[in-house]
Amino acid sequence: MKSIAVAIDGPSGAGKSTIARAVAGRLGFVYVDTGAMYRTIGLAVCRAGVLLGETEKIPAVLDDGLKVSLKYEAGTQHVLLNGEDVSSLIRTPEISKYASFVSAVPAVRAFLLDTQREMAKTHNVIMDGRDIGTVILPDAAVKIFLTASAQARARRRFLELQEKGETVTFDEVLADMVQRDHDDMARAAAPLRQAEDAILVDTSELTLEQSMEAVEDIIRRALEV
């Protein structure tokens, strides 16, 4: 039986990961957080002492035995860097900047492409990112573009960082959000954009539960599951 792929794209802080993870659990699909993969490479690049903008140094990091993998425990995804579980280390503002930086590098996207597509071939998946419906899984059965205003996304990220004990202001988070939106949409390699056949879901005025229900309803209606 052919596996089913659902692609969810959208800007940083739109809630893609949280919503995709929850809906995948409800539908019995495997959740694939591609953003976590780019964040993990960003962490590796940061640890290697590469500065933001030093694109020419990234291939050496990739070629140095770098391995990014996912594992699932009790339905929760963990991302591994050379066997180390770095799930809790890749969500800082610094690594967010590195993730945006490395995701614009064609060598990095090629490094992860086969891994991402293989998952979709062997499992029913909900995969979220910035170019899933446009590049990674252009033939996905369902495509959704999940977004929210920059202010709404910054507010959610600010509260999340506060809960983690991060010292940061709302204005700083908003500025980072706006800059990352610009970087993601302006990059030459697989820029962030809505696929022509993707359904737009704006969660600016929705609660998390309402957002989950909206996405789940779209998928169920499309697949009749």
Please give the backbone phi and psi of residue 118, each rounded to the nearest 5 degrees, phi first. Answer: -65, -40
d(CA 207, CA 210): 5
Exposed e or buried b per residue across 37-57, where buried means at least 16 C-beta atoms within 10 angstroms of its C-beta: bbbbbbbbbbeeebeeeebee
d(CA 63, CA 50): 14
Residue 76 host element (H or E): strand 76-81
Q: Is 89 helix (H, G, I), strand (E, B) or coil?
A: coil
- Say if residues 66 and 44 touch (Cβ distance below 8 Å): yes
pTM, full prediction? 0.78
Task: Give the pLDDT score at 61.
Answer: 96
Task: Give the pLDDT score at 75.
Answer: 65
Task: Give the pLDDT score at 70.
Answer: 83
108-142 pLDDT per residue, tens: 989 999 888 988 888 899 999 888 999 999 999 99
Task: Give the pLDDT score at 77.
Answer: 77
Task: Give the pLDDT score at 100.
Answer: 86
Report, as ranges of residue numbers, the positions in the chain whose pLDDT lies below 70.
Answer: 1, 75, 225
Task: Give the pLDDT score at 1.
Answer: 59
